[in-house]
């Protein structure tokens, strides 16, 4: 994982906005977030995370067949930011592309990578989630800007006889399109600014993540009691707690990283994977929900 150096606390935000540490913490669980400087880029953060993933997998960049970057905040609308990461890594034998499924982007990318590996079309796939959300929010809108942070995480998927990814399930419903979107009508925000119906997002997130996790477990003939770790998209600590409660999963099996990183969109799951001490053989369930709406779940045997 990789995050920009600068950390911005709730107290610092409350010097510029009509908000407070108490409000933000009690409503979201967030205490601080990492915010990019002008010199930071999505490709830079993604590259740093990818370098670590390659190192920990002991795979050379030249052996990577495919680089999939999940991002909502690419450095440029064209070309794909993934190609800049490819160049930075000198991963000459890879194809590289971005995918956009907002906060569910990492799960979508993971699922695409899994299909390529299962069909034998790829052996080593880098899956990266990287975002600079701070360039997409209106810093005068206290109801949205406090929620987001910047960062990246990456995994290297390789071919094995026993698949580590047991299954993935992806969903979307365009009926939620205008519940969370980037508004490009204001010339002051060339990348658009995040507009959100927070309550609708909250209730939908809780419902669909629970449903997709139950479906993903059932598909593998597994039960909630088999789960060692639940890693959810980190949008709001209360959403995470509600999903765990509805599933009947003890909180000590639930990963919470939102306190220090806030919502880094497609990067929250790989950042959380990097921060969790996962042991071989453990059953890990991932799930996310984001704009679109998009959502999904994955079941992994670590
Ligand atoms: N500080 C202080 N007061 C605030 C702030 C703030 N930062 N933001 C809003 N308020 C005020 C509102 O103006 C409102 O005041 P009013 O009652 O005088 O009108 C009051 O707090 C309540 O506002 P609500 O929006 O109703 O607050 P709610 O309890 O719904 O919490 C929140 C808002 C935290 C955004 C919540 O709806 C939420 O987390 N929703 C999920 C959205 C989300 O996580 N989006 C991220 C992207 S999507 C994803 O990743 C899944």
**Is there a catalytic annotation at residue 95?**
no
Residue nearest to atom 3 of ligand 1 (CA): 19
Cis peptide before 293 (omega within 30 of 0): yes
**Is there a catalytic annotation at residue 103?**
yes
Tokens of 154: 């990456």
CA geometry: angle at 251 spanning 249 and 252, to 5°? 110
Calculate Rg over the CA atoms of the chain.
18
Q: How confident is the model at residue 25 (pLDDT cuts 50, 70, 90)?
A: very high
Superfamily of domain 165-301: Thiolase/Chalcone synthase (3.40.47.10)
Residue nearest to atom 2 of ligand 1 (CA): 19
Ligand 1 first shell, C-beta below 6 A: 19, 23-24, 27-28, 103, 142-143, 146-147, 180, 196, 198-199, 201-202, 205, 233, 235-236, 263, 289-290
Q: What's the pLDDT score for residue 224? A: 97
Tokens of 41: 């880029």
- Who wins on pLDDT, 162 or 50? 50
Same fold, 7-158 and 165-301: yes
What are the domain boundaries of the chain? 7-158, 165-301
- Strand pairing report for 150-158 and 294-301: unpaired
Contacts of 206 (CB under 8 A, 6+ apart): 239, 242, 243, 246
DSSP state of 76: S
Q: What's the pLDDT score for residue 190? A: 86
**Is there a catalytic annotation at residue 76?**
no
Distance in Å, CA 198 to ligand 1 centroid? 6
List 10, 34, 145, 233, catalytic entry: 233
Contacts of 2 (CB under 8 A, 6+ apart): 45, 46, 48, 49, 52, 151, 152, 153
The span from the CA of 170 to the CA of 178, in Å, is 20
Cis peptide before 79 (omega within 30 of 0): yes
Q: What's the pLDDT score for residue 191? A: 86
Distance in Å, CA 126 to ligand 1 centroid? 35
Q: According to CATH, what is the number of the domain 7-158? A: 3.40.47.10
Signed CA dihedral, 269, 173, 138, 238: sign only: negative
Share above pLDDT 90 across residues of the chain, in percent, rounded to a whole number: 97
Residues 266-289, mean pLDDT to the nearest whole number: 98
Residues 115-140, mean pLDDT to the nearest whole number: 97
pLDDT digits (tens, 9 = 90+) for 178-224: 999 999 998 888 889 999 999 999 999 999 999 999 999 999 999 99
Quick check: 236 and 28 in contact, CB under 8 A? Answer: yes
Q: Which atom of ligand 1 is nearest to the CA of 142?
A: 7
Mean pLDDT of the chain: 97
Three-class SS of residue 288?
strand
pLDDT digits (tens, 9 = 90+) for 101-127: 999 999 999 999 999 999 999 999 999
- The CA dihedral of 301, 287, 52, 61, to the nearest 10 degrees, is 80
């Amino acid at each position: 994982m990789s995050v920009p150096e600068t950390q911005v606390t709730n107290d610092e935000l409350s010097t510029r906005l009509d908000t407070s540490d108490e409000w933000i913490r009690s409503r979201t669980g967030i205490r601080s977030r990492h915010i990019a400087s002008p010199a930071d880029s999505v490709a830079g953060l993604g590259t740093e995370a990818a370098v670590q993933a390659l190192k920990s997998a002991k795979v050379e960049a030249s052996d990577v067949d495919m680089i999939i970057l999940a991002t909502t905040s690419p450095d440029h609308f064209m070309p794909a930011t993934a190609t800049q990461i490819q160049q930075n890594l000198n991963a000459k034998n890879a194809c590289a592309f971005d995918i956009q499924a907002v906060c569910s982007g990492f799960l979508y990318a993971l699922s695409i990578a899994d299909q390529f590996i299962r069909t034998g079309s790829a052996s080593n796939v880098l899956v990266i989630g990287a975002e600079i959300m701070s360039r997409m929010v209106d810093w005068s809108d206290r109801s949205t800007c406090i929620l987001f942070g910047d960062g990246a995480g990456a995994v290297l998927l390789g071919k094995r006889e026993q698949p580590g990814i047991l299954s993935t399930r992806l969903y979307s419903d365009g009926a939620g399109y205008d519940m969370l979107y980037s508004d490009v009508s204001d010339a002051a925000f060339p990348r658009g600014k995040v507009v959100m119906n927070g309550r609708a997002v909250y209730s939908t997130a809780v419902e669909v993540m629970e449903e997709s996790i139950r479906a993903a477990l059932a598909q593998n003939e597994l039960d909630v009691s088999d789960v060692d770790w639940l890693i959810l998209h980190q949008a709001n600590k209360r959403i995470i707690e509600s999903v765990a409660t509805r599933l009947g999963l003890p909180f000590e099996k639930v990963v919470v990283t939102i306190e220090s990183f806030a919502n880094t969109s497609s990067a929250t799951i790989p950042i959380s994977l990097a921060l969790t001490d996962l042991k071989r053989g453990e059953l890990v369930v991932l799930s996310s929900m984001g704009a679109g709406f998009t959502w999904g779940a994955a079941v992994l045997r670590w």
